[in-house]
Amino acid sequence: MSKEETKTGRSQFVTKIGVIAATVGSAVGLGNIWRFPYEVGTHGGGAFLICYLFFIIAIGVPLLCAESAVGRRSRSNVVDAYRKLSGSNKWKPMGYLAVLTAIVILGFYCVVSGWTMEYMYQSVAGNLHYSSQPEYAAMFSKFIGSDIRPIVWTLIFLAINFRILIKGVEKGIEKMSNIMMPLLFLILIAFCINSLMMPGAQEGLKFMFTPDFSKITPAVLLSALGQAFFSLSIGMGCVLTYGSYFSDSTNLPKTAGIIAVCDTLVAILAGLMIFPAVFTFGGTPAAGPTLVFEVLPAIFNHLPLGSLWASLFFLLLFIASLTSSISMFEIGIAFFTEKFKIRRIVATSIITGITAILAVFCSLSFGSMSTFTIFGKNMFDLSDYVSSNIFMPIGGLGIAIFTGWVVNKQFLKNQLSNNGSHHFAGENLIIFSLRFLSPAAIVLIFLNSLGII
């Protein structure tokens, strides 16, 4: 991050672009390209998409504003932020939950990033050439079931994160992502056009955009909510931590709007790339977490210079996942260094170590530990489910109640308008959402999907 030390000794983003690059870099990641298509695929297509878009606008944007406001006002890590603004220790558990959530997500996120690296390697080596989609699916399941290989990639990914985090070379990463992210966007558009010319395009579009309202169940609503949280990086102190590095002149609602639009566009483009191909090559949209890894190589293989496209795509996806994983590590590191006054390298080692253990279990879920299940889910699915569908909604509920009801009323107004220095028309809508709509929706969906109401 292009941060510089301020008088208070805390780093701050230097430029407006730095703010956008870091927050969009955090938001756009595997959540958009890997998780979004498989969630749409398993939850009935268009019906899921509509719920998702609704949650992004009605709950996501207000929560982005709320989190960044709390971060900027308190200028501290997630645990201290609650204490500083409320003046009591009662809210501290919310901060701890955020740190825990970050680590749980990292556990499976690093595994999927490892898969991305394997595919990057295989495309450069020119090994992604099969004649049919089932062969790609078989290749992928052989890879993730092979125990050692996916773990090695996961650990390499963790080591890269570790190195970046201790060297503080985020500046370099940010510069790189300033080029790579727009490139990812362009290449996605190109692949979408390509997919839209496939024979299965119509069926793919129909699946994605025609809502079958009978498919909207409590479970679908909860998953759409969870996906909105995951994709925007909200509900676990990530935006809060980045917000604590924002300058006083950063326009929070505008920044939130830019993040939401960029993030949603990338997800829709990913869907437009995947679903026509799924119906063309005879895959099933409901394949789950393995979906994109089974479908993408088939798309590239049908293009001239396929290996080149594949290498470029997986490289960009790897960079996108790196900027996201770094933002998640930053939550725990900011907390551990400030709380226990330990050096950055020590905090980074502790968190990377815990993540590595968790990641090994998640990775083995597809291999020798596939029969080890808790509540009917393997470790990978369980971490994914618990973080997005339980921890993050609770975190989001906490931040909505905290900003809507606990801190004084003027707080949000001041933060959204930078103490009245600019007028923001949607201010009351955002406050309404944080006070009433978001808490009510999260609680209702949550209880409903647990079968309590």
Structure tokens belonging to residue 361: 């279990």
Pairwise CA distance, residues 342 & 77, whole Å:
14
> In the window 103-162, what residues touch ligand TRP (CB under 6 A)?
105
User: Nearest residue to ligand TRP, using CB?
Assistant: 31
Q: Is the Cβ of residue 238 or residue 412 nearer to ligand TRP in the bound state?
A: 238
Instruction: For residue 2, state whether it binds ligand TRP (rule: CB under 6 A).
Output: no
Q: Is the Cβ of residue 120 or residue 270 nearer to ligand TRP in the bound state?
A: 270
For residue 328, the minimal CB distance to ligand TRP (Å) is 5
Instruction: For residue 236, state whether it binds ligand TRP (rule: CB under 6 A).
Output: yes
Angle ∠(290,384,448) on CA atoms, nearest 5: 115
- Contacting residue, 23, 26, 161, 378, with ligand TRP by CB under 6 A: 26
The 3-state DSSP class for residue 11 equals strand
- C-alpha pair distances (Å), 361 with each of 104, 139, 155, 291, 370: 11, 21, 12, 21, 10
Report how many residues bind ligand TRP under the rule CB under 6 A: 15
- Region binding ligand TRP by CB under 6 A among candidate stretches 117-125, 231-239, 273-281, 333-341: 231-239
Instruction: For residue 256, state whether it binds ligand TRP (rule: CB under 6 A).
Output: no
For residue 222, the minimal CB distance to ligand TRP (Å) is 16
CB distance 209 to 46 below 8 Å? yes
> In the window 87-106, what residues touch ligand TRP (CB under 6 A)?
105
Residue carrying the six token digits 């406050």? 431
- Region binding ligand TRP by CB under 6 A among candidate stretches 122-130, 229-237, 272-280, 298-306: 229-237
Which helix (DSSP H) or strand (DSSP E) does residue 249 occupy? Answer: none
Q: Is the Cβ of residue 263 or residue 306 nearer to ligand TRP in the bound state?
A: 263
Instruction: For residue 27, state whether it binds ligand TRP (rule: CB under 6 A).
Output: yes
- C-alpha pair distances (Å), 190 with each of 52, 137, 151, 169, 195: 25, 24, 32, 31, 9
Q: Is the Cβ of residue 128 or residue 224 nearer to ligand TRP in the bound state?
A: 224
CA 385 to chain centre: 13
CB distance 57 to 219 below 8 Å? no
Contact residues: ligand TRP, CB under 6 A: 26-27, 29-32, 105, 230-231, 233, 236, 238, 324, 327-328
